[in-house]
Structure 1
Amino acid sequence: MEFVTVIGLEVHAQLKTRTKIFCGCSTAFGAPPNSHVCPVCLGMPGVLPVLNRKVVEFAVKAGIATRCTINGTSRFARKNYFYPDLPKGYQISQYELPICEHGRIDIDVNGETRRIGITRIHMEEDAGKLNHHPGRPVSHVDLNRTGVPLIEIVSEPDMRSPEEAGAYLRKIHSILRYLDVCDGNMEEGSFRCDANVSIMPSGSSVFGTRTELKNLNSFKHVEKALDYEIRRQQEVIEDGGVIVQETRLWNPDRGVTTAMRGKEEAHDYRYFPDPDLLPVVVDDAWIREIESGMPELPDDKARRFTASLGLPAYDAGVLTAERELADYFEACLRIYGNPKPVANWIMGPLLGRLNAEGRTISASPVAAPDLAALLKLLDDGTISGKIAKTVFDEMAASGKPPGQIVSEQNLVQMTDTGAIEGVIDGVIAAHPEEAAAFRNGKTRLMGFFVGEVMKATRGKANPKMVNEILRKKLG
């Protein structure tokens, strides 16, 4: 039987505010357990929440960036459930009247553009964290995270493969980091998602029973968990079984999903408007003010890179995936104005080294001005392409600027015709058989002779001059 996969994602993004959503406690990560708490976020009797205005601003920014309708009036609701990390016995969230609705983003997968709908974006508070003892059946509750502001971005069930889900998640991650409303740190839990997945027979328009996947803390885990769950559901149905609506956990060590609990529906949470909080009113003037301060977003930047700078769409997509990488590229361009070589060096030697060392562009050992200076030395003929790679490696290892390395190691390109001719004469004399074979039609040996000359000059000879002189001398 052929099946169609149906996937929707719920992204939880921690907002980059200094204080929590309803109190003045710090949101800083890594503090000692239960040190960033107060009567409000601990849910003590008689206290009242006060909404953090910056949370609303950040939620509106996310809504504008994802082409949502910004609701002039939204309101908070109580989501009731009982768990040890939820001190009030309910979570303050939004339900019937969220702040943003009916948005969309475009993703590119396998050369095709797909539009993914966004159902809603709503504000809510985070819960605490349970720390399970590794050796005893004991769990400790850390409530530092309780009350940390989140937005939840709920997609339509428009994705049809794990690859599409991964592309969507990366795009949301990129947008939020461009907006500077979320740091996107998946390891610390400030950007995380739950995935809803079901399958239906090909040609059907009725969605199958869905399962929810949790514990997805990397893009790779999202795709792997979805791939496994899709195959599991297919096997259950083909064996005559039925899919149970449930929440499942992804186990990355075993590469499987396991049942956690039955999946709740909205009515199970008994939502009702929070009586302690007034409706949130966002007028048109405030929306325009927020919109005027929005940065250039990744898709707009990529279009500018292709239209104005002449970069291929692939290059523009790579360079704009992260705001810091795009900033690095543009910082290089301000010093060395030829876009394509800059793009090539960033996407090749620089990103290759960063990936190998597990670094981000923010921790690059080669600063943007130094890479631009290296390209200037290459462009004006001071060094050859081969030497440039040697200099780059030394820059990354030592942190020295390229000019200093070239000077200290005497790496200036050899452009003296007489000196190059002398080296070439020596190479030809040392390889008479190859020289005779070249003259008899084996022109592919040109690469051999060029290599020998470059080896003899330690890569310093001007390659163009080497080729020209070799052709004359080899006849």
Structure 2
Amino acid sequence: MQWEIVVGLEVHVQLSTCSKIFSGASTAFGAAPNTAACAVDLALPGVLPVLNRGAVERAIRLGLAVGGRIRSPSVFARKNYFYPDLPKGYQISQYELPIVEGGSVAIRSGEVDRVIRLVRAHLEEDAGKSLHEDFHGMTGIDLNRAGTPLLEVVSEPDMRSSAEAVSYARTLHALVRWIGICDGNMQEGSFRCDANVSVRPAGSDRLGTRCEIKNLNSFRFLEKAIDYEAGRQMEVLEDGGKILQQTRLYDPDRNETRAMRSKEDAQDYRYFPDPDLLPLEIGEDWIAQVRRDLPELPQQMRQRLERDHGLSAYDAAALTADREMAQYYEAVVARLPDDPKLCANWVMGEVSAHLNGVGKSFDGCPLSPAQLARLLGRIRDDTLSGRMAKDVFGRMWAQAGDDPVAWKDRKEQAGEDLADRIIESQGLRQVSDEGELEGWIDAVIAANARSVEEFRAGKEKAFNALVGQVMKVARGKANPARVNELLKKKLTG
């Protein structure tokens, strides 16, 4: 039987507030266990929650960015369940009336553009953390995360493969970082995915029984978990079995999912409005102000880069995958507006590769956009070949040294003309003078009679070999385009 995979994601986005959603305790990562939890987070008798305005504003920002409806009023509810790391015995969340309803996220998976619809995005508090591996025969409870503000973004079951699910998760991850509501650090738990996976016969419009895979904190694990779970369900069904609605855990060491518990439905949590929190009223003037403060969104910038800069859809998508990268590119191309494609190639290529090599992002790049633009300008005016420019770029980068903290100061001290000074001091200027080039070419022709005969007999590889010899004689300083032109003229004239 042919099967179709159906996937919906619930993504927990940790909001970038300094304090928790209902208390003034710090949200900073890495504190000693139970030192970042106050009386409210610990649910001591008599404490009351006070809503964090910054968390609400970040939720509004996401709602506007995805084209959702900002609901007013929205209502906080108590989600009742018992677990050792949940101090109150319930989680404050939103159920019937979430802060954001609807919306969508446009994705590109392979060569296919898709729109993934959203059901909702609701505010809630995080639970604490159970530590099983640090204690022998016991479990430790760290409540530092308790009360951390989350925005849970729930998609419709619109994805049909693990690749589409990863594309959606990556797009949402880039968006929440772009609009400044989350740092996106998956290793620290700032962006976590739960995948609802089911399968159905190809062509059917009925949803199968779903299983939820909890707390996937990497895109690679998300893809592997969905693929494994879909395969498991197909095998069960083809053997005549039934899928049980379950919450499952993905084990990356064994690349398998395992049952944790039967999957709860909403009624199992006995939701009811939290009596300590009033309905949340959001005025139109506040929404309008947040809308005005939103930056240009990735989809809008992609369209502009394609339209105004003539970039391909691939290049535009790659440049807007990260806001700092997009801003860096825009600053470079502002100084070299006649060649946006050259700017894009270098930002996506050399600069990205070097940053990845030292584990840094564009906001920590040791070379300023002005310095890169000056280097690219020397390619444009034929001072440097592309190969020589990479050499100069490496020398510019090396001036950053081994201390990333000092990059900013060194970048400012180096000056915009850094590339020019390296070119002059190292004698790296490209040779385009016809007389000098012809001297090298004549010498190579005289020394390589066999290659000359092979080229004239129709072997194109022989011509490339001769060009290589000229570049070798010139020690890489010859203008490749002029070498090709003059060599071909001499051999065919």
Report TM bin, short chain.
over 0.9
CA distance in 2, matches of 1:453, 1:236: 66
1:469 and 2:486 are equivalent in the alignment: yes
Provide the residue aligned with 1:268 in structure 2: 268
Q: Is the 8 A contact 2:6 2:199 kept in 1?
A: yes
Provide the residue aligned with 2:389 in structure 1: 388
Provide the residue aligned with 1:457 in structure 2: 474
What are the ranges of 5 or more consecutive residues in structure 1 without an aligned counterpart?
none
- Please identify, of 365-374 and 6-15, the stretch whose mean Cα deviation from structure 2 is larger: 365-374
Match of 1:421 among 420, 438, 456: 438
Provide the residue aligned with 1:435 in structure 2: 452
Cα deviation per residue 1:68-107 (whole Å; 9 max; x = unaligned)? 1111101111111111111111111111111111221222
Q: Is the 8 A contact 1:109 1:167 kept in 2?
A: yes
Cα deviation per residue 1:155-178 (whole Å; 9 max; x = unaligned)? 111111111111111111111111
SS at 2:478's partner residue? coil
What is the correspondence of 1:19-38 to structure 2 with a 5 Å cutoff?
A: 19-38=19-38
Provide the residue aligned with 1:141 in structure 2: 141
1:405 and 2:405 are equivalent in the alignment: no
Cα deviation per residue 1:92-135 (whole Å; 9 max; x = unaligned)? 11111111112212222232222211111100111111222346
1:471, distance to aligned residue in structure 2 (A): 3.0
1:165 and 2:182 are equivalent in the alignment: no
Q: Is the 8 A contact 2:452 2:463 kept in 1?
A: no
What is the correspondence of 1:47-446 to structure 2 with a 5 Å cutoff?
A: 47-134=47-134, 136-337=136-337, 338-355=339-356, 358-399=359-400, 401-442=418-459, 444-446=461-463
SS at 2:319's partner residue? helix
- Matched to 2:128, the amino acid is G
Cα deviation per residue 1:384-403 (whole Å; 9 max; x = unaligned)? 12211222233334437422
Q: Is the 8 A contact 1:173 1:184 kept in 2?
A: yes
- Matched to 2:446, the amino acid is A
- Matched to 2:346, the amino acid is W
1:437, distance to aligned residue in structure 2 (A): 3.6
CA distance in 1, matches of 2:441, 2:153: 66
User: 1:462–1:204: structure 2 CA closer, same or farther, 3 Å change rule?
Assistant: closer
Percent identity of the aligned residues? 54
Q: Is the 8 A contact 1:331 1:369 kept in 2?
A: yes
CA distance in 2, matches of 1:8, 1:159: 6
Cα deviation per residue 1:317-375 (whole Å; 9 max; x = unaligned)? 11111111111111211222221111122223333444455544344454433322211
SS at 2:309's partner residue? coil
Aligned residues: 475
CA distance in 1, matches of 2:421, 2:136: 59
CA distance in 2, matches of 1:434, 1:160: 56
1:435, distance to aligned residue in structure 2 (A): 2.6
1:443, distance to aligned residue in structure 2 (A): 5.2
- Matched to 1:405, the amino acid is I
1:225, distance to aligned residue in structure 2 (A): 0.5
- Matched to 1:394, the amino acid is R
CA distance in 2, matches of 1:316, 1:305: 6
SS at 2:103's partner residue? strand
TM normalised by structure 2 equals: 0.92
CA distance in 1, matches of 2:356, 2:487: 39
CA distance in 1, matches of 2:208, 2:457: 72
1:294, distance to aligned residue in structure 2 (A): 0.7
User: 1:417–1:230: structure 2 CA closer, same or farther, 3 Å change rule?
Assistant: same
- Matched to 1:96, the amino acid is E
Q: Is the 8 A contact 2:123 2:151 kept in 1?
A: yes
Q: Is the 8 A contact 2:128 2:143 kept in 1?
A: yes
- Please identify, of 102-111 and 208-217, the stretch whose mean Cα deviation from structure 2 is larger: 102-111
Q: Is the 8 A contact 1:365 1:397 kept in 2?
A: no
SS at 1:213's partner residue? strand
CA distance in 2, matches of 1:6, 1:471: 59
- Matched to 2:349, the amino acid is G
- Matched to 2:422, the amino acid is I
CA distance in 2, matches of 1:272, 1:84: 22
Cα deviation per residue 1:255-295 (whole Å; 9 max; x = unaligned)? 11111111111111111111111110011111111111111
- Matched to 1:466, the amino acid is V
CA distance in 2, matches of 1:135, 1:183: 31
SS at 1:215's partner residue? strand
CA distance in 1, matches of 2:454, 2:159: 61
Q: Over the residues paired in the alignment, what is the CA RMSD in angstroms?
A: 1.8
CA distance in 2, matches of 1:411, 1:193: 51
CA distance in 1, matches of 2:211, 2:459: 66
Q: Is the 8 A contact 1:354 1:364 kept in 2?
A: yes
CA distance in 2, matches of 1:110, 1:467: 37
- Matched to 2:425, the amino acid is E
Q: Is the 8 A contact 1:131 1:141 kept in 2?
A: yes
User: 1:398–1:254: structure 2 CA closer, same or farther, 3 Å change rule?
Assistant: farther
CA distance in 1, matches of 2:199, 2:206: 10
TM normalised by structure 1 equals: 0.96
1:419, distance to aligned residue in structure 2 (A): 2.2
SS at 1:212's partner residue? strand
- Matched to 2:157, the amino acid is P
Cα deviation per residue 1:423-473 (whole Å; 9 max; x = unaligned)? 222212221222344345545422222111111112111123222332343
